[in-house]
Structure formats: C-alpha cells, structure tokens
Amino acid sequence: MTVGFIVFVVWLFDAATGSDAYAMFLGAMDTTAGCVLLVGWSYAFFYHLSNGIRHLIWDTGRGLEIGQATASAWFVIVTSIVLTAAFWWVAS
C-alpha cells in the first residue's frame, strides 16, 4: 500500500504539472502491468479496510473464538474481492 500511495502522489504531481506529464503517467498505468498493479493496490486497500473493521469488532470482545475468527477471516477475503470487483465495475 505504501508504494500505491507513492504512485498516487506521483499521479497528483503529474496532474498538477501539466497535460504532457499527466498523459505520460496515464500511458504507463494503461498498460497491462499498470492495470494489474492498480487492481492489486485497490484489493490491498479493501482488504486493509475490511480487516480493520474485523479488528474493531474484536476490540469489543466479540468473534475471538477459533471458529468465529476463521469465519471472519474468510469473510474479509470475500468482502475484499467483492469490493474490489465492484470498484472496478463502477470505475469502468
């Protein structure tokens, strides 16, 4: 996620710099490798968000049993995939 935020800052910088720099950045992100990285970073963001909510629930003392923790782990993974897919579906 740190590298993703660095890329985000570069995107903002290129957008502020001018159309030539911005076009070069978009050209790099429009490649297959750029798209894979963007999808990966968005999945990492949604995973981090979902797991943070899971930990907030744990902080209340709920869901700490092994079965519940395993179920919530799978829920986090599935939720991250669904949120990532929905994000890119809406974005496209």
pLDDT, residue 85, reads 98
- What lies within 8 Å, CB to CB, of 70 at 6+ separation is none
Phi-psi domain of 62 (left: phi exceeds 0; alpha: psi -120 through 50; beta: other) = beta
pLDDT, residue 84, reads 98
- The tokens 């950045």 sit on which residue? 25
Q: What is the tens place of the pLDDT at every residue in 15-64?
A: 999 999 999 999 999 999 999 999 999 999 999 999 999 999 999 999 99
Q: Which of 67, 23, 2 is nearest to 11 (CA)?
A: 23
pLDDT, residue 92, reads 86
pTM over 0.85: yes
